Amino acid sequence: MAQVTFFHYIHKSTVLHRMDGRLKLLGMVLLSLSVSLASELHHYLLLSGIVIAALIISRLPVLALMKDMRFFAWIIFIVLVADAFNIPGDPIPGCPIAGISIQGAVEGLRFAARLILILLVCTIMTGTTSLLTFRNVIEWYLRPIPLIPAARVATMINLTFVLIPLIFDSYTEMTHAQKSRCVQLRKNQIKRIGFIVFPLLSRTLQRTDEMVFAMEARCYAEVRTRPVFQTAPADWLMGAICLTVLLFVVLL
């Protein structure tokens, strides 16, 4: 059974995979801020071009990523419909459905574009960065902040990114298993949802306990050898590109 590609690390030999994790995380934050602040069409075109270029450079499976976007399709659809009906404005000419405004539809499309771009940016980050490197980078950023246990917080965030792919994989596995048992033919939607939610929650808690026991068995401790990071000129160039994009969106 094929795994969900979202939030999975995929080992490749590319520039983004070899990039310094500190600048890569900083670039992800800058691009996410740029997407959140984008308001004009040329902003979205520029950000879409950068994300597409990053996907091509990282050699991630684009078709599989687009297929996995179905997990967020309902969120996008609900917000799109809610904005189209609730935001007042001019009606769409020739639209057979009354109550839909042009301003609401545009705002809904903006939300959909923002969500898709942010998801792709995070997917590029997690797909080109191993979990160990991701943890070390977060700890490096948190270490200078006083009164914050950097190692503990970094481990908690790292475990979160470990569980997210496992939840998606479990959901896909359960969905395929229930389809083979013709569960989708049941008319009661609440029972169909219950057949997914409760086993998924039980398996997630079970895997969480297994990870805790595995860490205890390996004598996990917060005092560890600090990693050594190496930065190449290409890393600084990519960081400068992300900063330039943010300034372009804010100033123009």
* Structure token digits, residue 226: 């600090």
Per-residue pLDDT tens digits for 101-149: 777 777 878 888 888 888 888 888 888 888 888 888 888 888 888 888 8
Counted domains in the chain: 2
In a domain, 134, yes or no: no
Helix (H) or strand (E) holding 187: none
Please, where are the H alpha helices in 40-149?
41-58, 62-68, 73-86, 102-128, 131-142
In a domain, 3, yes or no: no
Per-residue pLDDT tens digits for 46-105: 898 998 898 888 888 877 777 777 777 777 788 777 777 777 766 767 666 666 777 777
If asked whether residues 241 and 121 sit together in one domain, one would say yes
Q: What was the pLDDT predicted at 15?
A: 87
Backbone angles phi, psi at 101, to 5 degrees: -105, 155
In a domain, 37, yes or no: yes
Encoded amino acid at 76, one letter: I
Residue 1: pLDDT band with limits 50, 70, 90: very low
Query: What is the distance between the alpha carbons of residues 72 and 249, in angstroms, rounded to a whole number?
Result: 26
Residue 2: pLDDT band with limits 50, 70, 90: very low
| Domain enclosing residue 69, as ranges | 12-129+230-252
In a domain, 240, yes or no: yes
If asked whether residues 80 and 45 sit together in one domain, one would say yes
If asked whether residues 50 and 168 sit together in one domain, one would say no
Ranges 17-21, 74-78, 163-167, 218-222: which has the least confidence = 218-222
In a domain, 196, yes or no: yes
If asked whether residues 95 and 171 sit together in one domain, one would say no
Percent of residues, the chain, with pLDDT higher than 70: 87
Using left for φ > 0, alpha for ψ between -120 and 50, and beta otherwise, residue 59 falls in left
Q: Mean pLDDT, the chain, as a whole number?
A: 80
| Residues in contact with 241: Cβ distance below 8 Å, sequence separation at least 6, in sequence order | 27, 50
If asked whether residues 124 and 18 sit together in one domain, one would say yes
Q: What was the pLDDT predicted at 102?
A: 74
Of the candidates 175, 183, 242, the one whose C-alpha atom is nearest the C-alpha of residue 23 is 242
In a domain, 164, yes or no: yes
Residue 34, number of CB atoms within 10 A of its CB: 25
